[in-house]
A and B are shown apart, each in its own frame.
Chain A
């Protein structure tokens, strides 16, 4: 994520430090103004700093160490250091890793483009002078505030194989339809739920981005004889690439850590131990089952670390592509 540059506003950055040069020793503890400011800063952020150390760094390091052991989640009496066994196992002895990773990639292929394109299209339409703009915006965002358990229970009524509304609608045209949107076709089924849930957030962000595009730019192009498509292609789209980029990055990370949807989809109304259908046996589901069902903690956390590294590398790659397609108003070097 590119760190926001704020230096053009004098009170925002750099200014305070300059004051330290002219500050004098203050009575009391004998600290300069700059030193006092440093103390204040670290005092105020100390809750976060402690949390970062004890709730993020240390658990992750412990997790990292655990991934080299045979830890089973209960006693540490039998704890043994097993070297790279868990990692080797992931690559050689567990075909489910490859399978679930494949399902996850397919999930991204289904979910990401559908979600991005649909939310961008709806933002484009709502950015026009349409009637009921506020109404539609509110309505489209509404699913985002519905908790995941409620959303999935509601969608079960739509996607049910034998009594679902979707099959009921298709049945009007193709009698005898009984598609298993929650079993054999769970991937498109889950995509519908994910897009329904996520459409509003992305659309609201895209809409705000569109409203930031200066009207003069569009007007000038129109006077120069550009048609609507050209304005979209050469003005709107390029100026929106930074927003699209950020959504893409966050969406990509979301794809790989997707556990909530397939898990809740499997557990709601069934049991917390139920196995998800093969269609949506995603990587994180495999990890979850290793840890909480099979008690293979060491192995499960090794899988988590592999995921973390994979997502990190992927994010770096996406950031590397940034310079080829994302518009930037910062001056480019070497041109």
Chain B
């Protein structure tokens, strides 16, 4: 066989292998989501049928009504969304200001402090959360939302990092000109830097809201059932009076629960992926 032919065959084979892997992984990615969707409209008795019916015999759309009847879904969702929005606004404001200071004010002490900011990212979250819980319980702040607010005001290492990286690339002249015009540091931040940071603001706001919306550990540890957030509520609801978990209805609840995040992801994919890349390449 001549060299060119062999090279062409090898290339063909490689392409075949590539597409096989791509499609194989795509099927694995889709399967749980597909199973979730079809099972969410099955009758509970059909869930255990063997061999499995991929599609339900008779779609049970009433499962979706049951999501709201069996648990105070709407009330807890609104509560979670409200907390999520408040925390997102605060943490974005604080992290952008802190990131701005680290990027544009390389004064004495800023470097070691920034090292701590980054270093905190590698401390296991739970190592801090549990001692925090001890402190909050002594201060009688458990079962309140104050821990979320305090945490938001202090900013978040990852978001501070994203803002700092972004603000570093701004030309110095921008600042100087404003300073000559008599603008103070906060006005420079508010009127020049922040309006030009929309992609990072978008990414950080999405990360922050998604985190609150999806976080299971913090509400589990800090809140009782009467004040808990949607993640814990969904995980612990939807059993029948005999204590049997109705997975079909739970799946319907989870589909509604994850939908906002999926929609936001499709709308703002570019910003989100850029944020992910910044965190992973420039560390």
Q: Which residues of A contact B (CB under 8 A)?
A: 1-4, 6, 9-17, 34, 37-38, 40-42, 44-45, 47-52, 54-56, 58-60, 62-63, 66, 71, 73, 118, 121-122, 125-126, 128, 130, 132, 136-143, 145-151, 153-158, 162-163, 165, 168, 171, 196, 199, 201-202, 204-205, 208-209, 212, 228, 243, 246-247, 249-250, 253, 256-257, 259-260, 263-264, 267-272, 284, 287, 291-292, 297, 300-301, 304-305, 307-308, 311, 315
Contacts and interface: CB of A to CB of B under 8 A. Distances in A.
B192 interface: no
A63 B130 contact: yes
A148 to B, nearest CB: 6
Contacts of A267: 235-236
Given A37-B105, A163-B48, A253 B124 contact: yes
B245 A270 contact: yes
Interface string B87-120: 0000000100110111111111111011111111
Contacts of A137: 273
B22 A125 contact: yes
Interface in B26-55: 26, 28-33, 35-36, 39, 47-52
B8 to A, nearest CB: 13
Given A51-B155, A154-B254, A205-B276, A291 B172 contact: no
A47 B99 CA distance: 12
B110 A4 contact: no
A158 B247 CA distance: 12
Q: What range describes how many residues of B lie at the interface?
A: 35 or more
A60 B106 contact: no
A9 B138 CA distance: 49
Nearest to A264: B216
A59 B132 contact: yes
Contact of A308 (B21, B35, B105, B124): B124
Contacts, number: 297
B1 interface: no
Nearest to A59: B131
Contact of A147 (B47, B114, B213): B213
A117 B168 CA distance: 33
Given A48-B117, A139-B30, A156 B108 contact: no
Given A149-B231, A204-B273, A256 B124 contact: yes
Contacts of A205: 276-277, 279-281
B208 interface: no
A10 B126 contact: no
Contacts of A49: 113
Contact of A149 (B108, B160, B185, B216): B216
Nearest to A64: B131
B22 A59 contact: no
Nearest to A56: B128
A272 B124 contact: no
A71 B258 CA distance: 39
B153 A136 contact: no
B17 to A, nearest CB: 9
